[in-house]
Amino acid sequence: MAKVTAEQISAAYQVSKNIFSKKIKRAEGIELLSNTYHLNKASAGDFINCFKCLMEGRVFQRAMSSSAMDFFMSSITTDFSIERQENALNALYKHIEYWESHYKTNALSMRKIANYYLKGIEQNLTTDSIYQQLEQSVAESLKLTSYERLNKIRASNPIPKKILVSSTVYQRNQHVVAERLNTANGTCERCNKKAPFLRAKDNTPYLEVHHKKQLGHGGLDVLENTIALCPNCHRELHFGI
């Protein structure tokens, strides 16, 4: 692939992304990159093919420059779910293996990029990010037909993958929690219904203490920033509209 400018790389990524999401057709994308960004059509096609392989976790043989690959991997990390990020990383490692085997050389710059994004994925996996990435993946899956989803389910490994995550936990003031539960006296302070069940360990009403402004968003761990909720109301505040 001929040397290209940063502007052309950025345009090639966006066009490839739009083609993959079926917003434009492949031929239209190639014409756009050729006519507007003066990228030759062969190189435009190579970018589009590489992006598709990255998204699907498949080996690609045509090489990108290290700067182009770095831009594509960085943008994929920002724009797509963890599943797509892992696909892209797997495709890149497959490309490196192909390149080193076929040309009997070491793809040092590409391997450095791959290792960098592998480390980034591992470091950025937290409990919250796993749930967020699952939601993004579910949203992508909902765009498929039921037939396509069922085929993917049949082809999937039924044994779930284990992931080691890091997490930041705020040490909450136990007195704030206790006083909020005492004030609620077994009644959800949002729907005004009794707690749905009693705790097995001590027969007390089961309510959950929620911070109106989350601690992770700068909320204070004070009584005025809390409310005692039944599980249903608590989930609705986090995930409802």
Which residue, 204, 217, 218, is CA-closest to 228? 204
Residue whose entry in the numeric block shows the structure tokens 């993917």: 152
Q: Roughly what angle, to the nearest 10 degrees, separates helices 6-20 and 26-35?
A: 160
The verdict on residue 1 lying in a domain is no
In the chain, DSSP assigns E strands to 208-211, 226-229
Q: Give alpha helix (H) positions in 59-107.
A: 66-79, 82-103
Torsion angle of C-alpha atoms 26, 27, 33, 38, degrees rounded to 10: 150
Domain span holding position 58? 6-124
- Global pTM reads 0.56
Query: What is the C-alpha separation between 152 and 83, in angstroms, rounded?
Result: 13
Query: What is the C-alpha separation between 11 and 223, in angstroms, rounded?
Result: 51
Length of the chain, please?
241
Residues 85 and 29 in one domain: yes
Residues 132 and 164 in one domain: yes
Residue whose entry in the numeric block shows the structure tokens 């724009």: 79
Residues 56 and 153 in one domain: no
The verdict on residue 149 lying in a domain is yes
Name the strand (E) or helix (H) holding 164: none
Tens-binned pLDDT, residue by residue, of the chain (241 aa): 457 899 999 999 999 999 999 999 999 999 999 999 999 999 999 999 999 999 999 999 998 999 999 999 999 988 988 789 889 999 999 999 999 999 999 999 999 999 998 887 766 666 666 777 777 787 788 888 999 889 988 888 888 766 656 666 678 888 999 999 999 999 999 999 999 999 998 899 999 999 999 887 889 999 999 999 999 999 999 888 7
- Cβ(88)–Cβ(76) below 8 Å: yes
Domain boundary among 65, 95, 124: 124
Residues 132 and 120 in one domain: no
